[in-house]
Structure 1
């Protein structure tokens, strides 16, 4: 009985250690201005202890929040590492007569020291990816007063440069626009 228990314990330890774990996760919502400047609307990062730090640039002020994620939320986020972020892209253009008026997004993380990053909009991404992003955004935009925290350091210049470089790679993202008026 002891041998079986030790064997099962060993299998579990091997299984857990083989799972890909994401580190240095950043999820950013931003807008491109007409002069190619970026405006960061939301910046969030996940630390090694499963704490989600959030910065929101609201219309009247800037606020910071801190949320402790559950293990199941962290496990869900770690599933993003199952393939390259570019492989979650299911299309690279809007449908005919379709506009996009939302913000752009940037996500980056490391898996085993290798960085993966992408600029994206949700209509271009697959449903599994969007479920995870939606779950994260539920936390990010919750704005729970009890989770408000002191400001934390964000290197906006470095972040904007990183996003600008990735924007050139993911150059298929549409500019903000409304759909054309209906034909009469």
Structure 2
């Protein structure tokens, strides 16, 4: 059984001061940096939207391909990332899930590399983290969501909490970062 850490969209535009800044989005970075060293394989996803994306009919323009806003948060130890999944590149698609990556089939990658367990952290609990975690479960992956290493947009005040409840009800295991060593 192989395990990987998946860091979802810890990008400048999702952190405070960014185009779609999440309250306390930057506060998860130290936790991620602390747990990153526990994993032999670290994967990230990154929104990489075209300027004319229909996604921007719902959301402020953010994470446009090649911009500073699309870059990883500067404090994230991104040099530890082994594989980067690029998503949201189609101007007709939202690209919430890392399983919608356009640079490779993430589901095939996991299968070919016999990765059966994913630990997921990053931004945002109620959109990209949730959709990625639910897709992981659908693909038969044992899925852990690291609750102190995620943050929600919370368009509605309870969106993050409801997303956690949905992930849990669909088979995700909710875990705190300090408990990871107990299950690795």
* Pairwise same-fold verdict (TM > 0.5): no
Bigger-Rg structure (1/2):
1
> Could you say which TM-score interval applies, normalised by the shorter chain?
under 0.3
Kindly indicate which of the two structures has a greater share of residues assigned to strand. Answer: 1
